[in-house]
Amino acid sequence: MVAPAVITPDAVYEILGSVMDPEVPVISVVELGIVRQVTVDGAHVAITITPTYSGCPAMREMERDMAAALGAHGVTDVAFATVYAPAWTTDWMGPEAREKLRKFGIAPPSPAERDGLITLTRARAAVPCPYCGAKDTQLKSEFGSTACKAIHVCNSCQQPFDEFKPL
């Protein structure tokens, strides 16, 4: 009998790096920051994830996609656990992921707001247009096509665009 090959956590991370966010198919679940921990015990792989938004409908889909990607590499004994602390933040996205977002037409998130509990107005500067780079843009709504996006319009090139909103 051949013992199943033991995979390393690094190799798991590498496989998960090929699993894209279904709503934003240019960044991986690892770049998104939802994979918090990977542990390997023999053939068993335990993956700890944290949700982006509490009600994000893509979370279960991402779990399935991760299991499928690992399955394709012969890793079938996979368990997922969800943690809520520390709460997910867009600050975990690195410069490369941000640049991929911008090229895809989504303005990357600015640093998460930490200016007090009650912020009735958006304190941040206008979000630069991901298409033409103009800074003369206008926020239309802080709620967009997915839980993680806001809608803006560029006053220069007239293009509406999504922003990955800071959280």
* Footprint of other proteins on 35-94 (CB under 8 A): 51, 53-57, 83-85, 87-89
98 alpha-carbon distance from chain centroid: 10
What letter would DSSP give residue 92?
G
Orientation angle between helical segments 58-72 and 9-16, nearest 10 degrees = 120
Nearer to other proteins, 146 or 155 (CB): 146
Q: How far apart are CA 135 and CA 154, in angstroms?
A: 8
Q: Cβ 11 to other proteins, closest distance in Å?
A: 30
Q: Cβ 66 to other proteins, closest distance in Å?
A: 19
Q: How far apart are CA 154 and CA 73, in angstroms?
A: 44
Candidates 29, 144, 154, 161: give the one binding other proteins (CB under 8 A).
144
Nearer to other proteins, 96 or 142 (CB): 142
What letter would DSSP give residue 74?
T
Q: How far apart are CA 85 and CA 48, in angstroms?
A: 11
Nearer to other proteins, 108 or 166 (CB): 166
Q: How far apart are CA 3 and CA 57, in angstroms?
A: 37
Lay out the site mask for other proteins across 96-125 (x = CB under 8 A, - = otherwise).
----------------xx---xxxxxx---
Residues binding other proteins (CB under 8 A): 51, 53-57, 83-85, 87-89, 112-113, 117-122, 140-145, 147, 151, 165, 167
